[in-house]
Amino acid sequence: MNRKILIIRANELRHKALSVVISNGGHDVYEVIETKLQQNKVAINTVVEAHFQSRKQVELDFFSDLVCQLDLKKTKQIKCLDVNTNDIIEYAKSLEVDLVITFGCSILKDPWLEFFQKKILGIHLGLSPYYRGSGTNFFPFVNNELGAVGYTLMSLNEGVDTGNIIHQSYANMIHSDSIHTIGTRLMRKMFSDILKITLLKNLEFEFDSAVKQPYIEDCKIYRKRDFNSINLELALKNISNQSIISFLENVDSERNKFPLLREIKLDAT
């Protein structure tokens, strides 16, 4: 089913790849690309620099084939410094889209939420309500909780990663994985799943059926400042101590600690 879709996103390779998948799926795609500089307050040392360089290379390996397919004739792009300005919101309203997808942009404020009720699909790279905030697929490696690595699609509200859950899925892993290969493989699966959801005949039903997040006493909430060389070295140490192998040997019990709250059976659609 062809739809008119607005994607509000950041401008890195992974964000562009989402637009390609949705556009190639037959939808009419409009894009608002937030280009303001994200200040990285992480103290850079050799370990941290190597981490980010590795992420960049892995994303090139996983996403460059998709991004080279980006056909600007098929998408209508505008760039901005802040998605919450009146001009951008009015532009979005004028499009009369069927769905808004957000990925890597600033938190949308009330005017968005009020006008696009049950039309905003927010992407959260992590499993809510267990991990919220920033780096939510990184800190499970720090805490040795690999069963909490996955993604959540939710309808947005005024909170941080607290919207009603439309769909969730776990990350798949293999013995030789790194944090980055797990994350990028998960995103490619996520893009495919999002496309399947956008093609559902009754998309409004999925929003109506979304599950309210329960209160979790030990919910872990992280901010960008929580990423540092100490946590990175701990995550890498856990992997070197075969945390992935241990997880794969106990995958069901590890995932049962972080049960999915809603999972659409997409393979049958």
Q: Which amino acid is at 17?
A: A
Task: Please determine, for residue 38, whether its predicted confidence score (pLDDT) is greater than 80.
Answer: no
Summarize the confidence of residues 219-245 as an average pLDDT.
95
Digit-coded pLDDT (tens) for 214-229: 999 999 999 999 999 9
Per-state percent for the chain, helix, strand, coil, to nearest 5: 40, 20, 40
Q: How far apart are CA 23 and CA 205, in angstroms?
A: 23
Q: How far apart are CA 170 and CA 151, in angstroms?
A: 7
Q: What total of structural domains would you count in the chain?
A: 1
> Which residues span the domain enclosing 41?
4-268
The percent of residues above 90 in pLDDT, for the chain, comes to: 85
Task: Please determine, for residue 234, whether its predicted confidence score (pLDDT) is greater than 50.
Answer: yes
Whichever domain contains 227, its CATH number is: 3.40.50.170
What values do phi and psi take at 137, rounded to 5? Answer: -105, 5
Say if CB 6 and CB 92 are below 8 A apart. yes
Digit-coded pLDDT (tens) for 88-106: 999 999 999 999 999 999 9
Digit-coded pLDDT (tens) for 125-136: 999 999 999 999
Q: State the pLDDT at residue 67.
A: 85
Q: Please, what sign has the CA dihedral across residues 249, 138, 122, 211?
A: positive
Q: Which amino acid is at 51?
A: H
Token representation of residue 82: 């802040």
Buried b vs exposed e over 189-209: b needs ≥16 C-beta within 10 Å? bbbebbbbbbbeeebeebbee
Q: State the pLDDT at residue 71.
A: 73
CA distances from 252 to 152, 170, 267 (A): 19, 11, 21
Whether the link from the prior residue into 129 is cis, omega within 30° of 0, is yes
Q: State the pLDDT at residue 269.
A: 45
Say if CB 169 and CB 264 are below 8 A apart. no
pTM above threshold 0.85: yes
Helix ranges (DSSP H) in the chain:
13-24, 46-67, 86-95, 110-115, 139-142, 179-198, 203-208, 229-240, 243-249, 251-256
